[in-house]
Amino acid sequence: MLKNSVEYKRFVWELSSIIDCSLNDKAVTNINNTTILNNYKNITFICIGTNLIIGDAFGPIVGSVLKNTIGKKNRIKIIGDLKNCITYNNIKDKIKNIKKMYSNDIIIVLDSAISHKSDIGKVFIQNRGLKYGESLKKENECIGDISIKAVVCEQMYDNISNFKNLTQVSENQIQNVCSLVSLGIIDVLNKKGNFGKNIYK
């Protein structure tokens, strides 16, 4: 069972810990030298990728699962899903809008990644933003406060080979990592009462 796996438990523990760290990092000190936590409006998930390439569909699939599960009932926003993909072609305009509308949110960015063969299927969480397009060696700005990257295929030495690898990822592999991440996120959010308790049972 997925929720009993070591990888799932590790993901839930790491994401929960990093969200707590992000909250503490964004603490502010007022004029009386008293440290207070910002009253965040939401946690916003930015799910990057496209449904046209199976290896790049990690973000949109997770985004769709979260939207279907969470809806609009909680202090959680999901940007990017299978119907409204955030891709390299439209992300710059999306980022401008996100910075205006969600500047006071904790922003968690999800995207597919390529790496060593031994890392395929692994999920990496970092307490920092994500540079989109890195897998195809594109230089872009860093977005978000927390990043979740799922390694879907092996990194090669040129863009053409990397793109080819992304198109040859198995659907079963993508579904497995999407299930782990989406269920893990929901599990973490259920434990964070401030952002949405009992959203999924």
Q: Over the stretch 138-165, which tens digit does the pLDDT of each residue have?
A: 556 788 899 999 999 988 888 888 889 9
2-25+40-190 belongs to which CATH class? alpha beta
Share of the chain above pLDDT 70, in %: 80
Share of the chain above pLDDT 90, in %: 48
Mean pLDDT, range 113-140, rounded to an integer = 81
pTM of the predicted protein model: 0.85
The pLDDT of residue 4? 87
The pLDDT of residue 177? 96
Residue 24: strand, helix, or coil: helix
- Mean pLDDT score of the chain, rounded to an integer? 83
111 Cβ contact partners less than 8 Å away, ≥ 6 residues apart: 48, 49, 58, 59, 130, 132, 147, 148, 149, 150
Lowest model confidence (mean pLDDT) among 11-15, 70-74, 114-118: 70-74
The pLDDT confidence band at residue 134, using thresholds 50, 70 and 90, is low
pLDDT at 175 over 90: yes
Lowest model confidence (mean pLDDT) among 26-40, 81-95, 129-143, 174-188: 26-40
- 8-state DSSP, 88: T
> Do the Cβ atoms of 100 and 121 come closer than 8 Å?
no
**What pLDDT, in 10s, does the model give residues 36-85?**
445 566 889 999 999 999 999 999 999 999 999 987 666 788 999 999 99
> According to DSSP H, which parts of 35-74 are helical?
58-70
pLDDT at 17 over 60: yes
